[in-house]
A and B are shown apart, each in its own frame.
Chain A
Amino acid sequence: MTFQEIILNLQNYWAEKNCIIAQPYDIEVGAGTMSPFTFLKALGPEPWQIAYVEPSRRPADARYGENPNRVYQHHQYQVIIKPSPDDIQDLYLGSLEALGIDPVKHDIRFVEDNWEAPTLGAWGLGWEVWLDGMEITQFTYFQQIGGFDCELESAELTYGLERIAMYIQEKDNVFDIEWVGNITYGDIFKKAEVEHSFYSFEEADISLLFNLFNQYKKEAERIIAKSLVIPAYDYVLKCSHMFNVLDSRGAISVTERTGFIAEVRNLAKLVAQSYLKQREDMGFPLLKKIEKTK
């Protein structure tokens, strides 16, 4: 099964389960959770079910394309179902079968792993799912987002696509993954990995990035005051990415670090608060709609 078939199979599987199939968000994120499709939609009483691929950037994990397992950008497959259905674990196991992984032939475990994202003021309880000893999915029941208790709890499934592909295709190196035909993961991403590594660790213009962080932050604050929730959130994501690059560049001292995280978290909280207010003013329009598609 090629990398793109893995994605297609997951898309088809979750589409059949009535998920909205969305596209990756167009702003740099560190994880699928940061897409507004998860971060914002997990808030409030409205139901929601969506699945999408999210290319996720983690500058600190960059390894100049030399490490077989770690990369600057990897791909997550993200599923959010709100409220979490009673058979969510079975639905998940079904998705593995869609990837040709027959649970009977393997050892599948749900091993405690609780998730927390300090920059988002978010946490949840759940597991990492093990396939014959390898972690392939993060499974979380959200409890708090942006500092707010989740009124209606979502289940979040985050598949590590590279890991799954390496397992299915029996590859020891991420760059050897077959994307499609004779095109490998390395053909598509290796050069970008090398360049991003140089950029994140050696070339990023520190003063420019600090400056951008502050500008983005100001803009987020300015427009959140005008209740432009989504544009404000976009700037929060940009702040977060600037922080990540500066951090991997070694430009953020220990004492500053907690300060930066707190600043991003505070922005995220403001956005969460405005979003909840906005949805309430709109009369929570999805309350009825999503039920219909079920």
Chain B
Amino acid sequence: MKKDLIFEIGTEEIPARFMNKSLERLKLIAESLFKDNRIRYGEINVYGTPRRLTLYVKDVMDKQEDLEIIKKGPSKKAAYDSDGNPTKALLGFLKGNKFEKDNLSVKDEYLYGKRLEKGNDTIEVLKEILPKVITAINFPKSMKWGNKSFKFVRPVRWLLPIYGDKLVEFDKDGIPCSKITKGHRTLSKEDIIIDNTSEYFDKLREGFVIVDQNERREMIRNQINRIAVEKGGVITTDEELLEEILYLVEYPTAFCGSFDEEFLELPKEVVITPMKEHQRYFPIEDDKGELLNYFIAVRNGDENYINIVKEGNEKVLRARLSDARFFFDEDKKTGLESCVEKLKNVVFQETLGTMYDKTSNIKDISSYLSEELRLSDIDKKYLDRAAYLSKADLVTNMVKEFDELQGIMGKEYALIQGEDPLVAKAIGEYYMPRFAGDKVPSSTVGSLLSISDKIDTIAGCFSIGIQPTGSQDPYALRRQALGIINIILEKSINLSFRGLAKKSLEPFIKKNILAKEESKVLDQIEEFFKVRLKNALLEQGYDYDILDAVLNKGIDDIYDAYLRIKELSKWRKKEEFLNIVGSFIRVSNLAKECKNPVINYSLFDSEEEKTLVHIYEKTKEEFLKAIGEKDYNNALKAIEVLKEPIDNFFDNIMVMVEDINIRNNRLAILKQISEMMNIFADLSIIVVNK
């Protein structure tokens, strides 16, 4: 017989940001407990609202599967005494495992016991495993309450475990465990009794709870889109906000509020941020992308009294926008210049210093980059100015109130005080990429400012031994390193990485705060970037061996390494190329034996040698020319001609001959060829038979 199981854990409001992960976890826990306990079922679904986590298992068999238990016992010799009677050892084995004497068998002189453990009633097993489900869901932050023996994300207030039409009775720290659940906090005062799992969703719906998050998501989506259309606008899709609101409401009802049009004179971000971040409202834009003076909010409840709710929310937003306008006006009066001074009072990191210190580091690194990359004088000037103002907005009222507006406000204020638009743009975009998958800055000045800021943070942290470990990366160093890599690759920036890292360490060496010697810190930073670059390119689909072939040589110029990887990946798809690589692998294997790579022409005693060296020398010239021009396609094309002479050489000549001079000379030929190849990449580690 199959019946459904519903297990609802009733809680106080669970933080929305934990819900998706917690539900996934709940499902995995249930799967493994059902499997371990041999309970067959049809399908497991999980549902969640702010006040409940629900496990819904369809078609659960009412008995566990039977289990055949077989165990190895004592040897035949030890099992019976000389009279053929069971020894203590055998009796102990039987008793300890609840085996019957009749079910013993012998294999390889050892006794084996066997018995069939009948499957228990599922409902009995559930009494054991459901309490375990509760404690197995772990949350990023959990709490104790009311003297309970276990922690949970917020207090658990009721449990509703129903199998078919039966309550699965158990005690968990005295938490009420019954057929009673609760509806919406304010709209459904009475207890809701669930007699049968089939009533669960409908009865809760009557109690103003839409249990299924997918249904709630669609309700919210439809409601907000309908309102946006009514107002002649569109909602810029914001899945993140939608996902959050989804778990803030049990019964969603969207409504539209408005605010004074005069607030639309503020920068768009200034209006949107308090709406979204503080109030969880959706902004509406017209078809030109201009903000409208409406907002859409989602109430946890029904249509009744919605005007009261709307007016309340409008009032709150009005106060917030008035605040924002007040801050904006104040900041405009202050100007960024005097903010820079105030950065002396903002700590970046205790040992590394203040934001003012960071600003001067960024300026130094920027001017290093300006020189290295030979920026035009005007760009140099812009970059320097943008670097000087880059952190100024951190002490503006606006950013103090909404820290996610860093950079964005800097840009606005820079424009207002008459900075060049390119300077303002750089300030506005240098925090990019702000998250995984975000775009890189579009301008050159913004890109270089971004690199300067990020490498300063990385160099500073590595200087004093702060490195990401496991899930710990408080300064988001991984993201920042990846940001630098993405900028370099997308903007085609050729640059000595070690030079940049060395430059970035200067202020910390001057301060004498390095935890290790400079060269070790540099090595660590390089290794850190190498791993990030490798991971990033692996994710883009490049092959391991090709990445290793190029990156194991050390990456001083990240963009150049990338070009080589790209070229090599293109060539590895060609059959002929793989054949050449095969030949090179033979060359480089033997070349390892060479101690003195000087070729003595007078020692040639075969055509094959002469031909190989002749073609090699001609090829080398072309090859080096192409490498010098970073024309890696031509470089690889150039070496194609080496395949035939190499193969002839190996087919017709013994390298390891008796005559030591001739042998060394032949090894020298191979060594030179292999060294030439290594200038491009270590082809010997490329997997040929893929």
Chain A interface (Cβ within 8 Å of chain B)? 67-69, 83-86, 89, 93, 103-112, 114, 124-125, 127, 131-134, 141, 143, 150, 152-153, 167, 172, 250, 253-255, 257-258
Please tell me the number of chain B residues within 8 Å of chain A, measured between CB atoms: 44
Binary interface encoding of chain B residues 297-338 relative to chain A, with 1 for a CB under 8 A from any of its CBs, else 0? 101110011001101110111010011001000000000000
Extra pairs beyond A110-B50, A132-B315 (7, CB < 8 Å):
A105-B308, A111-B13, A125-B154, A132-B311, A132-B313, A133-B312, A141-B155
CA distance A93 to B301 in the complex (A): 16
Q: List 26 A-B contacts (CB under 8 A).
A: A67-B326, A83-B146, A84-B146, A84-B155, A85-B146, A86-B155, A104-B304, A105-B305, A106-B309, A107-B309, A107-B313, A108-B186, A109-B13, A111-B248, A114-B141, A132-B311, A133-B279, A133-B297, A133-B313, A133-B316, A141-B155, A143-B143, A153-B146, A250-B345, A254-B354, A255-B350
Within the complex, what minimum Cβ distance (angstroms) separates B372 from chain A? 33
Cβ of B241 within 8 Å of any chain A Cβ, yes or no, is no
CB within 8 Å of A: which B105-145 residues: 141, 143-145
Determine how close the nearest CB of chain A comes to the CB of B537; give it in whole angstroms. 38
B347 CB–A CB distance under 8 Å: yes
A167 and B17 alpha carbons, distance in the complex (Å): 29
Chain A residues touching B, majority SS: mixed
User: Do A69 and B300 form a contact, CB below 8 Å, given A127-B13, A132-B309?
Assistant: no
Q: Is the CB of A153 within 8 A of B144?
A: yes
- Whether B305 contacts A104 by the Cβ 8 Å rule is yes
Looking at the complex, which one of A89, A110, A133, A152 makes contact with B147 (CB distance below 8 Å)? A152
Min CB–CB distance B287 → chain A (angstroms): 28
Q: B312 contacts which of A83, A106, A125, A258 (Cβ < 8 Å)?
A: A106
Q: Looking at B316, B326, B350, which has the most chain A CB atoms within 10 Å of its CB?
A: B316
Q: B187 interface residue, CB < 8 Å from A?
A: yes
> Do the beta carbons of B16 and A112 come within 8 Å of each other?
yes
Does B12 lie at the interface of the complex (its beta carbon under 8 Å from any beta carbon of A)?
yes
> A107, B319: Cβ atoms under 8 Å?
no
Q: Does B15 contact A (CB under 8 A)?
A: yes
Contact A107 B347 (CB under 8 A): no
Nearest-neighbour CB distance to chain A for B226, whole angstroms, equals 19
Q: Kindly provide the distance from the CB of B503 to the nearest chain A CB, expressed in whole angstroms.
A: 26
| CA A138 to CA B179, docked complex, whole Å | 32
The verdict on A258 contacting B350 (CB below 8 Å), with A108-B186, A111-B248, A134-B316 known, is yes
- The minimal Cβ–Cβ distance linking A218 to chain B, given in whole angstroms, is 27
Q: How far is the CA of A203 from the CA of B426 in the complex (A)?
A: 41
- A-B pairs with beta carbons under 8 A, tally: 103
Complex-state Cα separation, A111 to B141, whole angstroms: 15
**Could you tell me if B185 and A108 are in contact, using CB atoms closer than 8 angstroms?**
yes
Question: Is B157 within 8 A of A86, CB to CB?
Answer: yes
Q: Are A131 and B312 in contact (CB under 8 A)?
A: yes
A residues less than 8 Å from B16 (CB atoms) = 112
Binary contact track B487-529/A, C-beta < 8 Å → 1, others 0: 0000000000000000000000000000000000000000000
Q: In the complex, are the beta carbons of B186 and A93 less than 8 A apart?
A: yes
Whether A104 contacts B187 by the Cβ 8 Å rule is: yes
A85 to B12, CA, bound (A): 13
Given contacts A110-B12, A132-B308, A133-B312, contact A143 B347 (CB under 8 A): no
Which residues of chain A are within 8 angstroms of B279 by Cβ–Cβ distance? 133
Question: Is B641 part of the binding interface, using a Cβ–Cβ cutoff of 8 Å?
Answer: no
Specify the chain A residue showing the minimal Cβ separation from B257. Answer: A133
Closest A residue to B15 by CB, please name it.
Answer: A112
B192 to chain A, nearest CB (A): 16
Alpha-carbon distance between A114 and B590 when the two chains are bound, in angstroms: 66
Contacts of B603 in A (CB 8 A): none
Q: A106-B305, A125-B141, A143-B143 are in contact. Are A89 and B346 (CB under 8 A)?
A: no
**Bound complex: CA A68 to CA B319 (Å):** 9
Closest CB of chain B to A144's CB: distance in Å?
10
**Contact for A107 among B12, B147, B299, B323, CB less than 8 A:** B299
Which chain A positions have C-beta within 8 A of B185?
89, 93, 103, 108
- In the bound assembly, the distance between CA atoms of A93 and B323 in angstroms comes to 29
